Structure 1
C-alpha cells in the first residue's frame, strides 16, 4: 500500500512539473521570446547537472542558437531565466538602470547556510548597500598595500617548495589551491599557515571539503535552489549544504582571534582587523560570513585562473619567454618587486587579462528584478517584454568572451589583445571577468595582486615546461562552479640559471 502511494505521489509530482514547464514555454511563445526546449524539471541544464558537460557549455548552446536576439529564454532547472546576449542591454541592466536589478539570486539559501547567507554575495536591498559600503574600505589600495608582505611571504614559500620538486610532474591546481589558502590565512586572518608542508592542515581541508561536490550534494543543491520549501525542510532537520565542520572551524577561529586581539591590544594588517574596525554593530556570524565567503571565493576562482594561466604558458613558450623578459628586466632595473611596481608590468597585466577572457571564472552576472522593468524588443519586429519583480536574468560572460564577433580567433591565447594599442578596440561590456556595475567583484584588486605577485616570481625563477601529462588543447571538466582542464593541469618547473 505504501509503495503504491509513493509511486502515485511521484507520478503526480512529475506530471505537475511537466505541466508547469509547458506553461512557461507557452508564456515565452506568447511573448515572442525564443528558447531551446530543455528537459522537464532539469531544463537546459540537464547535461551539466549530470556531469556530461560544464554549465558554461549549457549557456553557450542557448547563446549561439539565436545570434540575432538581444535576449532569449533559458531554463535553469524549473526556473525561467532571461539570458541577456546584448552588451548594450547589459550596460543598462547593471549600471544605468541598476536600481531595478539590485539583488542577485540566492546562491546559498540562508536557511541551510547561515554564514554564507550573511555574506555580501547573498544580502539584498538596503542590507547589501550598507554591507558593500563598509566592505569597500577593506579592499582599498592602502589596505592591500598593508597585506603585501604577507602575500610576498607566501609566494616565497611556493618558490622554496619548487626547488625540491623540479623533476616531478606538478598538479598545478593543488599547488595553486594551497597558495590561495595560505594567502587568505596569512593576509586575511594573520595565521601562519604553510599548506605545502602541513598538507592536511585544518584550514586547507575546510576548503577542500567545501568544494568537493559529490553527485548527491549537487542534487541536494539543485533541489534547494529550485524548490525553496526543501530548503525550509533541511533547516528544520538541521542539514547543511556545506560540511558543518568548515563553518564550526571558521566561527571558532574568527571568534578566538578577535577575543585574543582585543585582550592583548594587537593590530594586524588583515581582514579580521579591518572588519572589527568597521563592524561595531555586526554579529559574529556577519563578520565570519564575509571572511568565509572571501576564503571560498578565493580558494577556487583564483586557483582556476592561476592554474589555467600556467597551463597556457606551458603550451605557449613564446608568450612565457616574453613575460620572462619583462620580469627579468624589471628585476635587474629595480630589484625586488614592490607593491608600487605592479603597474609597470604591462605584459603581465596583458597575460592575466587574456586568461581572464578565455577562461573566466565569472560565467554569469545574475540579477533579480526588484522593481518592474520593460525590456526593448528582443529583435527587430518583436515586442517589448515586461520583467516582473522576482524574475531572474543572466547576463552572460564566457559566451561573450568567446564570441568571434567581439574577439577574433577567440580560442587563441593572445595577450596582445590587451596591449595599450589594442585594448581600446575592445567593445564595452564584452569583457567582464569580475562583473560590472555596483555588484561587481569586491575582491577584484585583492585577487589580481595576489596572482601577479606569484606569477612574477614563478616566471622569474622557473621555466614552465610541458610534461607527458600536459593536455592540449585545453577543454573544461564538466563541473558546476570550478573552471578546470580535462585531465587537470600538469607541468614541470625547471629552475632558471642564475
Structure 2
C-alpha cells in the first residue's frame, strides 16, 4: 500500500511539472518574450541546482543570448521570472515606480529569523523597520565605528607579520588561505561593531563566534529544500511553518543580543555599535545627523531614499535580534567574499597593486586614516569599485510585483507585458556589470574605469553593487569602510604575491549564491621594507 501511495505521489508531481513546463513555454511565446527552453522540474536552472555551474553564469548566459531585448524570461524550476536588461527599465522598477515593487520575493519564511529581518520583511512592516534603522547607518554613526575597524585590521597585520617572521626563520615560504584569513577579519569586525565584543580570531582560532558564522553558511541539503519549497510552493512551506535557520547558532546570537541589551539598560552603559543603535531606535531616540560634504566614503555608497511616516513602530525583541542576525550574516560572508576576490585580483595584477601602494604610502606620510580622510584615497576607491563591478555579491535585485504593472514592449514592434501581483522580476546586476556595451573588455580588471577622468562615462543604473532605490543595501557605508580599512593596512605592510596555487583562470565555485573562487584563493604575503 505504501509503495502504491509513493508511486502515485511521484507520478502526480512529475505530471504537474510536465504540465507547468509546457504551459510556461506556451505562455511566453504568446507574450512575445524571448527565452531559452528549459527542462521539466529544473527549468533553466539544471546546472546550478546540481552544483555544476554558478547561478550567475546561468543567468548571464540567458542575458547574453538576446542582446537586443529590454527583458527576457528565466525559468526557475516551474516559475517564469522576467530578467530586466535595460537600465532605464531598472530605474523605473527600482525607483520611479517603486510602489509597485516594494517587496523581495520570499526566499525565507516569515517565521524564520532571516525572514524577520529588514531584508525579508514586506510592505509597511519593511518600510517602518527601514526608517527605524536608517539613522543607524549615516556617516556620523559610521565615523564612531571606524576605530573598531582599525583595531581589528591591526590584528590581521600582526598575524601576518608573525607568519612572515616565522617563514624567514624557517627559510621557507608559506601560502595563506585568503578565504580563511578574511573571514576571521570580517568575523572580528562584526563581533565588535554589531555586538560590542572583542574577539581575536587569529589568536583564538576556534572561538564560538567564528564557529557560529562559519557553520551558518554551510547550507545543508534540508536548508536548500526549504528554500526551494518557499520559492516554488510557498503555501505548503507556510502551512508546515518550515524554518531555515535554527539550532545552536541562532540561540547563541540571540542570547548575546538579549543579555547585552539587558546589561546596558540596567547599568546605563553605552558603546558605539549596532546593538546600542538598535536600543536607541527601538525607543525612537535615534536621530540621523545631517550628511555633509566630508561624507565621502566611496563612489559605490548609496543614499537613503525613505522618509519617516507617522509614529515610530514599537518593535519586539525578536525583531531587533533579527536585524542583528542580518548584520552578522551580511558582514561575515558578503563583505568577505568581495575582499577575497579583490586580494586575488591584486595578486594577479602586480602593476595595479604597486600603484595602490604608492598612493597609500604618500597618504600615510601626511594623513591619519579617519572617516573624513578616507575619501582622499582615490585609487583605493577605484580598485574597490572595479572589484564590486566584476565580482558583485548582489547578483540580482529581485522584486515581487504587488499590483498590476505594464512593462513596455521587450523590443521594437513587440507587445507590452502585464505583470500581476505575485509575478517576479530580476533586475540584472552582475550581467550588466559584465556587459561589453557598458564596460569594454569586461573581464579585464581595470580600476581606471572609475577614475575621476573616466567615471562620468559610467551610465546610470549600470553600476549597482549595493542595489538601487529605497530597497538598496542599508549597510553600504559600513561595508566600504570595512573594505578600505583592511586593504589600506594590508597593502601598506605587505606585497601580495601569487603562487602556483593562485588560480589564473577565475571561475566561481558552483555552490549556492556565494561568490567564491572555484579552487579557493591562496597567496603569499611578503613584508614591505
TM-score above 0.5, yes or no: yes
**Is 1:294 equivalent to 2:296 in the alignment?**
no
Residue number among 203, 206, 215 corresponding to 1:200 in the alignment: 206
Task: Quote how far apart the aligned CAs of 1:382 are.
Answer: 0.4
CA distance in 2 between partners of 1:450 and 1:130 (Å)? 27
What do the CA deviations read for 1:22-43 (whole angstroms, capped 9, x no partner)?
A: 1122111111111111121221
What do the CA deviations read for 1:7-26 (whole angstroms, capped 9, x no partner)?
A: 12201111012102211221
2:360 alignment partner in structure 1: 327
CA distance in 2 between partners of 1:150 and 1:277 (Å)? 20
Q: Secondary structure at the match of 1:352?
A: helix
1:72 alignment partner in structure 2: 72
Task: Quote how far apart the aligned CAs of 1:243 are.
Answer: 4.3
CA distance in 2 between partners of 1:169 and 1:243 (Å)? 36
What do the CA deviations read for 1:404-437 (whole angstroms, capped 9, x no partner)?
A: 1110100100000000010000111111111101
2:254 alignment partner in structure 1: 251
Task: Quote how far apart the aligned CAs of 1:446 are.
Answer: 0.4
2:14 alignment partner in structure 1: 14
Task: Quote how far apart the aligned CAs of 1:216 are.
Answer: 4.5
- After TM superposition, the structure 1 stretch with the greater mean CA deviation from structure 2, 166-175 or 265-274, is 166-175
Task: Quote how far apart the aligned CAs of 1:215 are.
Answer: 4.0
Q: Secondary structure at the match of 2:194?
A: helix
Q: Is the 8 A contact 2:114 2:245 kept in 1?
A: no
Q: Secondary structure at the match of 1:194?
A: coil
Compared with structure 1, are the counterparts of its residues 311 and 201 closer, same or farther at alpha carbon in structure 2 (3 Å cutoff)?
same
Task: Quote how far apart the aligned CAs of 1:5 are.
Answer: 2.2
**Is 1:270 equivalent to 2:268 in the alignment?**
no
CA distance in 1 between partners of 2:240 and 2:349 (Å)? 48
Q: For residues 394-405 of structure 1, what are the structure 2 equivalents within 5 Å?
A: 394-405=426-437
CA distance in 2 between partners of 1:467 and 1:74 (Å)? 39
Q: Is the 8 A contact 1:209 1:243 kept in 2?
A: no
Residue number among 361, 374, 380 corresponding to 2:406 in the alignment: 374
**Is 1:415 equivalent to 2:447 in the alignment?**
yes
1:62 alignment partner in structure 2: 62
Number of residues of Structure 1 aligned to a counterpart in Structure 2: 491
CA distance in 2 between partners of 1:21 and 1:138 (Å)? 46
Q: Is the 8 A contact 1:464 1:493 kept in 2?
A: yes
Q: Secondary structure at the match of 1:493?
A: strand
Q: Is the 8 A contact 2:434 2:442 kept in 1?
A: yes
CA distance in 1 between partners of 2:221 and 2:176 (Å)? 27
CA distance in 2 between partners of 1:214 and 1:285 (Å)? 24
Q: Secondary structure at the match of 1:374?
A: strand
CA distance in 2 between partners of 1:215 and 1:419 (Å)? 44
Q: Is the 8 A contact 2:408 2:417 kept in 1?
A: yes
CA distance in 1 between partners of 2:57 and 2:266 (Å)? 52
Q: Is the 8 A contact 2:21 2:78 kept in 1?
A: yes
CA distance in 2 between partners of 1:71 and 1:410 (Å)? 21
Q: For residues 310-389 of structure 1, what are the structure 2 equivalents within 5 Å?
A: 310-334=343-367, 336-389=368-421
CA distance in 2 between partners of 1:9 and 1:107 (Å)? 25
Q: Secondary structure at the match of 2:439?
A: coil
CA distance in 1 between partners of 2:422 and 2:230 (Å)? 17
CA distance in 2 between partners of 1:174 and 1:233 (Å)? 39
Q: Is the 8 A contact 1:49 1:218 kept in 2?
A: no
Task: Quote how far apart the aligned CAs of 1:232 are.
Answer: 3.0
CA distance in 2 between partners of 1:222 and 1:39 (Å)? 16
2:178 alignment partner in structure 1: 172
2:119 alignment partner in structure 1: 121
1:145 alignment partner in structure 2: 143
Q: Secondary structure at the match of 1:394?
A: strand
Q: Secondary structure at the match of 2:373?
A: helix
1:181 alignment partner in structure 2: 187
2:483 alignment partner in structure 1: 451
Task: Quote how far apart the aligned CAs of 1:145 are.
Answer: 0.7
Q: TM-score, normalised by structure 1?
A: 0.97
Q: Is the 8 A contact 1:109 1:225 kept in 2?
A: no
Q: Is the 8 A contact 2:110 2:121 kept in 1?
A: no
Unaligned runs of 5+ in 2: 165-172, 284-313
1:490 alignment partner in structure 2: 522
Q: Secondary structure at the match of 1:81?
A: strand
Moved over 3 A (4+): 214-217
Higher helix share: 1
Task: Quote how far apart the aligned CAs of 1:229 are.
Answer: 3.7
RMSD: 1.2
CA distance in 1 between partners of 2:431 and 2:442 (Å)? 10
1:232 alignment partner in structure 2: 238
2:299 alignment partner in structure 1: none
Q: TM-score, normalised by structure 2?
A: 0.91
Q: Secondary structure at the match of 2:511?
A: coil
Residue number among 245, 260, 280 corresponding to 1:242 in the alignment: 245
